[in-house]
Amino acid sequence: MKNRSLVMMLTGIVLLGACKNKSSYESAGNADSATIATDKIADTAVQPKLVKTADIRFKVKNVQQTGENISALAVKYNGMVMHHNMISTDEQTHDVRISDDSVMRVSAFNTVADMTVKIPTEKLDEFLTTVGHMGIHVNESKMDIEDKSLDYLAEKLKLQNRQEFIAQQKQGKIIVKDPNKVMNLKDDMVDQQIDNKRIDDAVKYSVVSLSFYQSNTINKEIIVNDDVTSYNPSFFSQLGVALQNGWYIFSEVIIGLVNVWAFVLCGIAVWIGIRYYNKRKAHPIV
């Protein structure tokens, strides 16, 4: 009985020691993993990822010509025009009548334009200087620099972790029961690669937003007079037409009376007869 109790006591001591060793092992393992992850970040060289953007607003002599010059300059620096919009607004219009059927239209136009250009970053300062010289004066000019180095590093390390996880999953070291989780993980890897590609592109090419305008332009053009009341004849023309129409009506009445002369004579005779009858009736012969 004593031997049995002694054996049970020794067994408990051994199991307790094993549990302590296991806990120590797991803690050491977690500590080692954290140390490895920290060393991994520390050993990774942080490459500078500076994203530059610029905005400029200026006044020019000719908006259309300036837009063409900026497009040619962007091509010269191996850049590209991403957006170009030009608007001409009719501020005021006045019509001057020069004849019955013609009008000179005088219009005041306000013309503005917006452009977005991607320029290689090493040519950005030179591009901005050249564009600034195209204008009469610059209203506003600014440039912003955003450091994307840590964002790029974070995406890179996350991508490496996911690649290692996928490699272990393919080797059978890690078993994932839900295939959708694996697909979502692979999609995240693609998104991280695309995000870093965007950062690389933004570092290589700077985006410049340009806004330029010119003084109001006066435009003159001869157009057809679309006011129908302007085509009415003058007073003297209408008076002459009225005289002609009156003579025509008078002559038509005379001709009509001549055509019915027999009826006129009969009417006169009847009228004379009635008067003679009334006269005899008023003064009878005794």
CA distance 246 to 240: 10
Task: List the one residue out of 158, 159, 163, 166 whose CA is nearest residue 182.
Answer: 166
Predicted pLDDT of residue 115? 96
Predicted pLDDT of residue 45? 62
CA distance 210 to 214: 14
Predicted pLDDT of residue 209? 96
Predicted pLDDT of residue 206? 95
Is 79:204 a contact under the CB 8 Å cutoff?
no
Query: What's the one-letter identity of residue 16?
Result: L
Per-residue pLDDT of the chain (286 residues; tens, 9 = 90+): 434 444 344 444 434 443 444 343 333 334 444 444 445 554 556 688 999 999 999 999 999 999 999 999 999 999 999 999 999 988 888 888 877 778 888 888 899 999 999 999 999 999 999 999 999 999 999 999 999 888 888 888 888 877 787 787 777 776 766 667 767 777 787 888 888 888 889 999 999 999 999 998 888 888 777 666 666 667 777 777 788 888 888 888 888 777 777 777 788 888 888 877 777 777 665 5
CA distance 212 to 57: 6
- In this structure, which topology does domain 50-147+206-224 adopt according to CATH? Alpha-Beta Plaits (3.30.70)
Predicted pLDDT of residue 261? 75
CA distance 107 to 137: 26
| Cα–chain center distance at 279 | 103
